[in-house]
Amino acid sequence: MQTSRGQHDAIGIFDSGVGGLTVFRRVTERLPRESIVYLGDTARVPYGTKSAETVIRYARGCARILLDRGIKMLVVACNTASACALETLQEELDVPVVGVIEPGAAAAVRITRNKRIGVIGTAGTIHSEAYPQSIRSFNPDLQVFCKACPLFVPLVEEGWTEGTVALEAARIYLAEMIERNVDTLVLGCTHYPLLRDVIAGVMGPEVTLVDSAESTAEVVSEVLNGMSVISTDEGPPRRHFLVSDSPGAFATVGRRFLGQDIGNVEWVDF
């Protein structure tokens, strides 16, 4: 079914907002010749506080928009959407669909030494139990401790990634993780890498932080190789950004995530 998609087609990536740009960035580093269409569903952001049914509905809408642009594969660069909607999308779509949870879980399984893994994420991601399920599918002997940290996303969106407020919030949320003596902590939300310094400061140098963006980019590369549709185009790749709310606001906040200017942003209604 997937033979209609070719190496010149773009990779589609979606997230509820700007957070998925951390994944976008890793994919462009790993696969610099690939064209990418990124969709941020900024009119409905955040997904992390919404129910699974609602997140599935929104994820279907995002996928449809990107498929209309002729993508060769879809990356669900949002932990909540990956947790709630990945299986549905994999069943319904005729392109390969990769989420961020399994790559992050696999990385944590490789890293842990004391067999105690912590996972932090949005309420939606944590309640779905997608991380413990994925981690235990790799190794049922591992212990997994999960904690929802609802204030981390608004802290990042506000730009308060250092200072007393971020530090105190991190101390409160992470106290359990320190008590549980985890040696590996999965940053189970694409916003959280921007709080890496604060989180690392609270957890201490013994704990390894896992950012699934990197592992996800690796899986994307494997899938494209497996399908023999890796781009070998010599020209500059296309990088296109779509949003469901104001393009201007996305460009401003997105700059922090991408570490560089975002070019043209197009508004889409769905």
Strand order in the sheet with 208-211: 143-148, 116-121, 184-187, 208-211
Catalytic-labelled residue, pool 84, 146, 149, 189: 189
Looking at the Cβ atoms of 49 and 90, the one nearer to a copy of itself is 49
The rounded distance, in Å, linking the Cα atoms of 70 and 61 is 15
Q: Shortest gap between Cβ of 182 and a copy of itself (angstroms)?
A: 23
Query: How do strand 184-187 and strand 208-211 relate by DSSP bridges?
Result: parallel
Is 189 known to be catalytic? yes
Q: Shortest gap between Cβ of 175 and a copy of itself (angstroms)?
A: 13
Count of C-beta atoms within a 10 Å radius of residue 238: 12
Looking at the Cβ atoms of 77 and 153, the one nearer to a copy of itself is 153
Q: Shortest gap between Cβ of 269 and a copy of itself (angstroms)?
A: 9
Catalytic-labelled residue, pool 62, 78, 84, 146: 78
Is 84 known to be catalytic? no
Looking at the Cβ atoms of 42 and 212, the one nearer to a copy of itself is 42
The rounded distance, in Å, linking the Cα atoms of 33 and 18 is 22
Binding site for a copy of itself (CB under 8 A): 42-45, 49-51, 53-54, 150-151, 153-155, 157-158, 160, 164-165, 168-169, 172, 244-246, 249
Q: Shortest gap between Cβ of 191 and a copy of itself (angstroms)?
A: 12
Fill in the DSSP letter of residue 117: E
Q: What is the CA radius of gyration of the chain?
A: 18
Q: Is 70 left (phi over 0), alpha (psi -120 to 50) or beta?
A: left
Annotated catalytic residues are 78, 189
